[in-house]
Every structure is written in structure tokens, then in C-alpha cells.
Amino acid sequence: MHPAVREIEKTALKDNIPDFKVGDTVRVEVEIVEGDRTRTQPFEGVVIARKGAGPRETITLRRIASGVGVERIFLLHSPRVKNLKVVRHGKVRRAKLYYLRRKVGKKARVKEGRIRRPGAKAAEKKAPEDETTAEDTS
């Protein structure tokens, strides 16, 4: 990629995205434009995939809504996707949690907690979204 193009990509990135990984449960708010008015819709779910790089990075969230599995893909850096918050840290051993689709009930859960690498906490403190640090000591 040409350095000038990389510069342009950098300007499109959000700087307030908290540190989160696949397996974490996150909550986002999406702005929905209906005609000339906009409203925000929250969505909470387990991050089952993080794909792409730069402004094209997406996350796939999965949740069970009234007994039905619902997955939504969000463009992480889109200005319409707002207030991403980490609700719960998950402990997983793979990068994509597509296996959750085949699991129901108790098996479709992700274990809580995560072994932290040294330095990870310090990096997180720098991020503006700080409520994540408090929770993860569990």
C-alpha cells in the first residue's frame, strides 16, 4: 500500500476503540437513518469474529434473541457504529467462534475471564474507555 493511502486510512480510523478480543461480549450502538431522522439501536453480543484491517475491519456479534440466534456484522470504524463497550471478557482458544452456531443452551457459552499478558493492562489504561479494566479482575 502506498504510504499516502495508508495516511488516508489512518484518518478514517477511530481512536476510541477499547481493547477487545474474540470471545468478549460487547455492546454497540448503531445509528439508523430513517428518511430524515436518525435513531440509535443498541446491540449486544459475543464477538465471534474480527475480520479485516484498517478502516475495513469488521466484527461479527452473535446473541440469542428470543430463542433465535442472531448475528450482525458491524464495520468497526464506521461513524454509524458508536459507543462500543466491553461487557464481559471471554476466555477462548480460537480466532473465530463459528462453532457457537452449532451449539445450543449451556454449550453455547463462552467462559469468562482471560489470562492477561503483562503490559496488556497498561495498554488498556491508555484507552479512553476505561470501565473494561475494572471488570476483568474476576
Partner 1 sequence: MALGMLGKKLGMTTAFDEEGRAVAVTVLELPLNSLTQVKTPERDGYAAVQLGLGEKKRPNKPEAGHAAKSGVAPPAALREFRTADVESFKAGDVVDISIFEGVTAVDVRARSKGRGFAGVIKRHGFHRGPKTHGSKAYRRPKSIGASATPSKVYKGKRMPGHMGHRWVTAANLKVFRLDAEKSLLIVKGAAPGPNGGFVVVSPSRKVARVES
Contact footprint for partner 1 (CB under 8 A): 1-2, 4-5, 8-9, 12, 31, 33, 54-56, 75, 77-80
Which CB sits closer to partner 1, 54 or 69?
Answer: 54
Q: Rounded to an integer, what distance in angstroms lies between the CA atom of residue 78 and that of residue 109? A: 28
User: Which residues face 37 on adjacent strands?
Assistant: 34
Backbone angles phi, psi at 87, to 5 degrees: -90, -35
- Tell me how far, at minimum, the Cβ of 15 lies from partner 1, in Å: 14
Which CB sits closer to partner 1, 4 or 134?
Answer: 4
How many other C-beta atoms can be found within 10 angstroms of the C-beta atom of residue 112? Answer: 15
- Tell me how far, at minimum, the Cβ of 10 lies from partner 1, in Å: 10
Which CB sits closer to partner 1, 5 or 123?
Answer: 5
- Tell me how far, at minimum, the Cβ of 55 lies from partner 1, in Å: 5
Q: Rounded to an integer, what distance in angstroms lies between the CA atom of residue 10 and that of residue 2? A: 13
How many other C-beta atoms can be found within 10 angstroms of the C-beta atom of residue 50? Answer: 17
- Tell me how far, at minimum, the Cβ of 106 lies from partner 1, in Å: 38
